[in-house]
Structures are given as structure tokens and as C-alpha cells.
Amino acid sequence: MAGRICRTAEEAFRLGWEEPCDHGFADPGECRTCRLSDAEIARLAVLLNGLATPAPAERLAA
Ligand SMILES: [Zn+2]
């Protein structure tokens, strides 16, 4: 069963997310070690918002 290929980042993320963590928790969200802290989530949100913002070059071209 080796060689399963994840075609999208989303699929790879989901597979990793649903897999039990190394600490014996079936749901990594339940694991204190694996789950993201509030600070980490806030930082990720900032990063993702930055990526979602349209490129400034678009405004220059207009
Ligand atoms: Zn864990």
C-alpha cells in the first residue's frame, strides 16, 4: 500500500490531519503537543490573509 500519491496540498493536509499523532491521540487537535496554540493560529491567520491579498502589481497595471 506504499506509494499513495497526494495530488493536492489540500489532500495531503487532510490525510495528515486525520492521522493519529505520534503521542497516541486519534485526533491531533486533542493533543497538547500537536495542536496549535492560540498565538500560532493568530500568526497563521495573518500569513494567510497576506497571501489572499491581491498583488500590488495589479493596481499598478490598471
Ligand atoms: Zn501529538
- Per-residue pLDDT of 11-53, as tens digits, reads 777 776 667 888 888 876 788 888 878 888 888 888 888 877 7
Distance 6 CA to ligand 1 centre (A): 22
Domain for residue 2, yes or no?
no
What is the per-residue pLDDT for 23?
A: 85
What is the per-residue pLDDT for 34?
A: 80
Distance 31 CA to ligand 1 centre (A): 5
Rounded CA separation 20/24 (Å): 7
Give how many domains the chain has, as a whole number: 1
Q: Name the band, by pLDDT with cuts 50, 70 and 90, for residue 3.
A: low
Domain for residue 16, yes or no?
yes
Q: Name the band, by pLDDT with cuts 50, 70 and 90, for residue 56.
A: low
Distance 16 CA to ligand 1 centre (A): 12
Domain for residue 1, yes or no?
no
Distance 11 CA to ligand 1 centre (A): 20
Q: What is the reported pTM?
A: 0.35
Domain interval for residue 46: 9-53
